[in-house]
Amino acid sequence: MPDFTYTIQKIVESILSEVNTSTPGAIVSYDAVKNRAIVKPDIPKWLADDDELATSKIVEVPVLWPASSGGKTSFTMPLKSGNGGLLLFTQRSLENWLSGSKEMPDDPRQFDISDCVFIPGLQSSGVSADPDDVVLKFDKSELRIKEDGTVIIKTDQTEIKMTGDGKIDITAQDKASLNGVEVTVKGQFKATIDAPSITLAGNVHILGDLTVDGDHP
């Protein structure tokens, strides 16, 4: 005959088996306009009777992005099928809240598997991180911020580097264009253009002295 401690333990296990807290999961599909996803937990649920409950899809799941000012400021990224993240299950039903209500939910359910949010990023393989820099990356393009204040924006063909001491370097493997209604280049001491050939199209106005070095007609 089971003793009292064993009985209590089984009761507690049975209750806890119905409580969902958080678990790794993945995107099945994502509606970026509505910011709602269909997700699926990665790990089957272990029931109190030692049975395994296979995972099923969870629909209308909000995705958690950093945002403020009522959504006027936000940071988002593309989500594709199979992208991993963390499923965070809520204490109360989200149905009314997702419709804009902050009143007590109509349904008294708690920690239910249907009430969760998806936080992108959690993967079993992990995400490669930089030990020193803040890095925002998308495929071959990245924004890198260093501790000394240097900011580097680059693709596989172009780089813009703004150093902490006030220098800016722009490097392009192909053409570089600067367009505007009015473009001003101003140097406190001097401005230098160094190229084998320079073409000026349009009227040229020179304010100040013009010095020409080298051979000229």
Instruction: Name the CATH architecture for the domain at 4-120.
Output: Beta Barrel (2.40)
Q: Where do you find CATH 2.40.50.230 in the chain?
A: 4-120
Least confident of 16-25, 43-52, 153-162: 43-52
pLDDT at 195 over 80: yes
Q: What integer pLDDT is reported at residue 73 of this predicted model? A: 93
Q: Per-residue DSSP letters for the chain?
A: ---HHHHHHHHHHHHHTT---EEEEEEEEEETTTTEEEEEESSPEEPTTS-EE----EEEEEB---EEGGGTEE------TT-EEEEEE-SS--HHHHTT--SPPSS---S-TTSEEEEET--TT-----SSSEEEEETTEEEEE-TTS-EEEE-SSEEEEE-TTS-EEEEESS------SS-----SS------S-----S-----S-----S---
79-107: per-residue pLDDT in tens? 999 999 999 999 999 988 888 888 888 88
pLDDT band at 9 (very low <50, low <70, confident <90, very high): confident
151-179: per-residue pLDDT in tens? 999 999 999 999 988 899 999 988 888 88
pLDDT band at 141 (very low <50, low <70, confident <90, very high): very high
pLDDT band at 3 (very low <50, low <70, confident <90, very high): confident
Q: What integer pLDDT is reported at residue 217 of this predicted model? A: 60
pLDDT band at 46 (very low <50, low <70, confident <90, very high): confident
Q: What integer pLDDT is reported at residue 78 of this predicted model? A: 95
**Chain mean pLDDT for the chain:** 89
Please tell me which residue, 186 or 82, carries the higher pLDDT value. 82
pLDDT at 1 over 80: no
